[in-house]
Structure 1
Amino acid sequence: MTIYETEHWVWSLRPHQATLGSGILSLKRECATFGELAQEEYGDLYQMIKVIEGSLQELFHYDVINYLMLMMVDKHVHYHVIPRYKSEREQFDQVWKDQAWPGLPDLSGEVSESEALCKIASYVKSNLKQVHN
């Protein structure tokens, strides 16, 4: 479920919400290694990070944000964007707990219900924090 995109990157909601607001940040073109990124893609990544962090902080008040570039299954440059929370969050008729805090995030689990994903995506999309340089 796409939340926001720039010229080179797309930010989507993770089907499994490891924590509230978990997403995936993917390069739009095929690229197998981080070192193959073009200079303009790095610059665009900077802009995207500002939008992601600003939006998630304002909406969900995360304590720390993790970017995991694992690329074990999908051999394509992408990050798992995992907001981390010391305490529970109650939102969208649900209590969200970061079960792995303060350790490594747990990315396993079931795909979240589509209704819940739609609510989260819609909320984030309609409250994006835009970057102005």
Structure 2
Amino acid sequence: MEIDCIYCSKDKNLKELMSEICKLEGSILYLFRDQKHLGRCVLAYKYHATELFEIPRYNYEIYMKELKFVANKLKELFNCDKVNYAVYGDLINHVHFHIVPKYKDGIQWGEPFSDKINPKFLKDEEFEKIKNLILKKVTN
């Protein structure tokens, strides 16, 4: 049975939404192309699963440890006031967490982050710079 999943197929739709930063033991870290929330990343489970409860316990523990680690590194790197997390999967049926740095004086403080406001796409050089900063932070 073929799985229709952008995280598994790594098709052009995935590349339009985000860019891979690195692979971890149980997950893959991506930088979201829309950077209205500077540092917004996605941590996708390395293997196909549509629900958290489908992940074997050992892999789940690794994935959650990596989520905690990445969120902490993003907080350190971007000096944000809060990190928001989102898990949906209605449209992209693969376990993944959005990890979103937020600031008290920034957009959407005190409310869920949303893609309903205008996106902010950085110039390629700036996007790559942020991507490399995150890579260095999570791999050192």
**Shorter-chain TM band:** 0.7 to 0.9
Match of 1:52 among 70, 78, 84: 70
Deviation, 1:71, is 0.8
Aligned CA distance change for structure 1 residues 32 and 50 (closer, same or farther; 3 Å): closer
Q: Aligned ranges for residues 57-72 of structure 1 at < 5 Å?
A: 57-72=75-90
Match of 2:121 among 112, 115, 118: 112
Deviation, 1:41, is 1.6
Q: In structure 2, the residue corresponding to 1:126 is in which secondary structure?
A: helix
Deviation, 1:50, is 3.4
Do structure 1's residue 35 and structure 2's residue 45 form an aligned pair?
no
The size of the alignment, in residue pairs, is: 120
Aligned CA distance change for structure 1 residues 126 and 17 (closer, same or farther; 3 Å): same
Aligned CA distance change for structure 1 residues 111 and 28 (closer, same or farther; 3 Å): farther
Question: Which one has a larger percent helix, Structure 1 or Structure 2?
Answer: 2
Greater length-normalized contact order (CA 8 Å, ≥ 6 residues apart) = 1
- The TM-score normalised by the length of structure 1 is 0.79
Identity percentage of aligned residues: 24
One-letter amino acid matched to 2:128: C
Deviation, 1:111, is 6.0
Q: Aligned ranges for residues 1-133 of structure 1 at < 5 Å?
A: 1-87=19-105, 98-108=106-116, 109-110=118-119, 112-113=121-122, 114-128=124-138
Deviation, 1:65, is 0.9
C-alpha distance in 1 between matches for 2:36 and 2:94: 21
Deviation per residue, 1:64-115 (Å, 9 max, x gap): 111100112101111111111113xxxxxxxxxx311111112244362333
Structure 1 runs of 4+ with >3 Å offset: 108-111
Gaps of 5+ in 2: 1-18
Contact 1:18–1:106 (CA under 8 A) maintained in structure 2: no
C-alpha distance in 2 between matches for 1:125 and 1:24: 13
Contact 1:54–1:129 (CA under 8 A) maintained in structure 2: no
C-alpha distance in 2 between matches for 1:64 and 1:107: 18
Deviation, 1:18, is 3.5
- The TM-score normalised by the length of structure 2 is 0.75
C-alpha distance in 1 between matches for 2:139 and 2:47: 25
Contact 2:43–2:67 (CA under 8 A) maintained in structure 1: no
